[in-house]
Chain A
Amino acid sequence: MAKKIISYPVAPNSVYVWRGFMSPPPQTYEAFASFLGSVFVPACALLQPAVGLRAYIPSMVPQKGKPAAVPDQTALMFWATPQSHDLANGAIAVRIYQNLHGDVYDMQRSHLPEIPVLLPTSVDGVTAEQPYYLFEDSADWMLGRVQHFVGARPENITPHAFLTSIYNWASTFKINTPKGIDAAIICCGNDYAVVWIHANNAIRNFSSLLNGFSSLTKPQLNISPRSTSLNAGLWNKWAGIDLTLQKNTSLNIQFNRLPKTTPVK
C-alpha cells in the first residue's frame, strides 16, 4: 500500500524568492553549477526540513544567450510559517547552510528583497525587484504542479514600461484566474521578470498559461520543475546532483516534512 503523503500548505508570504547571480570570473558557470549540485542544493533540502522547510524549487537558468542582468539561478523556499526561516537559524544545521552563500554568489547583486507581498491594486504601488504573490490562500508547492518562467526585458522597452506590462499581466491573471490555479508568485526586476504558478491537480495546456507573460519578455526559461527525491542522506557516499544535465534544470525536491516548524527548544 502506497504511503500517504501529508499535505502541508503554507501561506503565500511564507516563501523566500531567490534570484541568484554567480560570482564574477574567475569562477565559471561549470564551477557554479558543480558547487550548487554537489553541496548547496542538496544541503538546502537535507538540512532544513526538520526545522520548517516545506518546499524547495531550485532552477538553473540556461546560459546560452542569457543577458548578464538575468539571474543565473532562481529558487523558491517555502517555510512552515513566515517566522520559521528566522527561527530556523537557531539550529546549527541551518547556520552552517547559511554560511555557504557567500562564496559562489555575487551577494551584492543577489541580495534582493526575497519575501513577497500581495500584488497591489494599482501599478503605482509596484516596485522593481519586490516579489509579489497574487492569491492569498495557502498552497502546498511541493505537491501538485508548478510552471516557472524566466524572461529578460526586451531592449526596446524601458524598465518602467516593462514593470507596468508585467503588472498588468499579473492583474489580469489574478482576475481571470485559469481554473485550477491556486497560487502564483511574480517578480519583475529592471532587466528581467520571473513567475511561478501552482496547481493542485493536472491542468491541460498548463505551460501555455504563461504565454501572455512570455510575450512581454525575451524568454530564457519556461519549465515545469521535475519532482525528484534525493535518495541520499548527509552522511551517505554521494556526489550530489549534476545540475548541468537538462533534466535537472528545474527541480521540485521531494522530502519528508515534519509537523514541527522550529528548532527543538
Chain B
Amino acid sequence: MHSGKNITTPPDSVRVWRGFRLQSLPVDQFYSKLGSVFIPATVKFQIDAGLHSYTPSVPAGLVGKPNWVPDETAILFWKSQQTYWNGFTRLSVRTYTLTHGGVYITTGSPLSRADFPVLFSGLPSLSVDAPVFLFNNNADWMNGTIHHIVAERPRNMDPQTFKSNISDVLTKIQDLTPKLDGAIACIGDEYLVYWELGPLAPGTNTPVTGIPLLQTVLTGWQQVMTPASTFLPIGMYDEWAGMDVHAGSSFNIQFDRNNSI
C-alpha cells in the first residue's frame, strides 16, 4: 500500500549523508549528475524498499564554502534500520548504491559517508562522524517544515572546543519549548550539519528553531537552507532530463510511500 500521509518513523532510522564531490568532477557536472540521476533515483529506486523520506541539500558551489564542508548533505528516513539493511537484498538498492563511486570521494579524506544516529545525551555521546538525534520520538520528516544548517568549524576554534560548544547548544535545543518534532546533528572534524523538524511557535507563524542558538557558536562559513517540498512527476521509464540543481538547492522530496514493506 502506498501513501504520502501520516507515516512516522523512529528517530534512529535515518541515514545521515555527508557527500564530498570528486575534485575531478566539475561542479556543474556534479549538479547535473545530482539532478538527472542521483536525487530522482534515490527515490525511484528505493520507495519499494522502504524509503520513508528524503531531504537532500547541495552546499557545493556556494560562495566561500570551504572544501572541508560537505558538497551534498541528505537525510534518508527508512521504516526502520533493519528495513535499510534489508534493502541490499534487492537489485534496485544495490544498483543505486553502486553508482556513487564516480561522483563522490569514497576513499581517503574528506570521506563521503552515511551513518545512523544515536540518541544525544550530552558531550560523551557526541563524536566525530557519529550523528545524533535529539528527540526520542517518531516523526514524519516528509511532511512539515525542515530547517538545515551546514557550517564549518570556526578556524579559531580547536576541534575539542568546537565539539564541546556544539554539545552545549544541542542540550539547549533539547530544552526548547515547545519541543521540536525532531532534530539531527552530526559533527565532522571540520564541520557541523544539523536538521530540525519544527512546529510553529504557539500564536505565531514562526517555527520553533534551534538554529540561532547554533549560530552563536558557528562564527565561520555557514548556510541555512529550508528544503522545498518537491514532487517528481515522472516514472522510471519516462523521458525526463532531470531536476534543476544548483548551489544551495534543498529539497524535501514528496512521494507515495510503500507502507507494506
Residues of A that sit less than 8 Å from B by CB: 35, 38-39, 42-43, 46-47, 50-51, 90-93, 95-97, 99-100, 102-103, 232-240, 262-265
Residues of B near A238 (CB, < 8 A) are: 89-91
Among B91, B99, B235, point to the contact of A236 (Cβ < 8 A).
B91
Give the residue name and chain of the A residue nearest to B86 (CB): A237
Interface size on B, residues (CB 8 A): 31
Q: A235, A236, A240, A264 — which one has the most chain B CB atoms within 10 A of its CB?
A: A235
Q: With A50-B237, A92-B234 in contact, is A232–B91 under 8 Å at CB?
A: yes
Give the residue name and chain of the A residue nearest to B44 (CB).
A92
A39, closest chain B residue (CB): B94
Where chain B touches its partner, the secondary structure class is: helix
Is A234's CB under 8 angstroms from B239's CB? no
Chain B residues with CB under 8 A of A240 = 91, 94
Given A96-B96, A234-B90, also A91-B102 (CB < 8 A)? no
Contact with A along B224-244 (1 / 0, CB 8 A): 000000000011111111100
Distance, CA A245 to CA B91, complexed state (A): 20
Cα distance A50–B41 in the bound complex, in angstroms: 17
- Return the CB mask of B91-126 against A: 1 if under 8 Å, else 0: 110111011011100000000000000000000000
Chain A residues whose C-beta falls within 8 Å of the C-beta of B237 in the assembled complex: 50-51, 91, 93, 263-264
Between-chain CB contacts (< 8 Å), 5 pairs? A92-B41, A97-B95, A100-B98, A236-B91, A264-B238
In the complex, B72 has a CB within 8 A of chain A: no
List, in ascending order, chain A residues with CB within 8 A of B49's CB: 235
Distance from A52 Cβ to chain B, minimum over Cβ atoms (Å): 10
A93 touches which of B94, B101, B236 (Cβ 8 Å): B236
Instruction: Closest B residue to A101 by CB, please name it.
Output: B102
Taking each of B96, B238, B239, B242, which has the highest tally of chain A beta carbons within 10 Å of its own beta carbon? B239
> Please, which residues of chain A bring their CB within 8 A of the CB of B242?
92
Contact B90 A95 (CB under 8 A): no
Cβ of B41 to closest chain A Cβ, rounded Å: 5
Q: Report B-chain residues with C-beta under 8 Å of the C-beta of A99.
A: 33, 37, 99, 102-103
B102 touches A102 (CB 8 A): yes
Taking CB atoms, residues of chain A closer than 8 Å to B102 are 99, 102-103
The residue of chain B having its C-beta at the shortest distance from the C-beta of A234 within the complex is B92
Given contacts A39-B98, A90-B240, A92-B240, 11 further A-B contacts (CB under 8 A): A50-B237, A92-B238, A95-B37, A95-B41, A96-B41, A100-B99, A234-B91, A234-B92, A235-B92, A237-B86, A264-B237
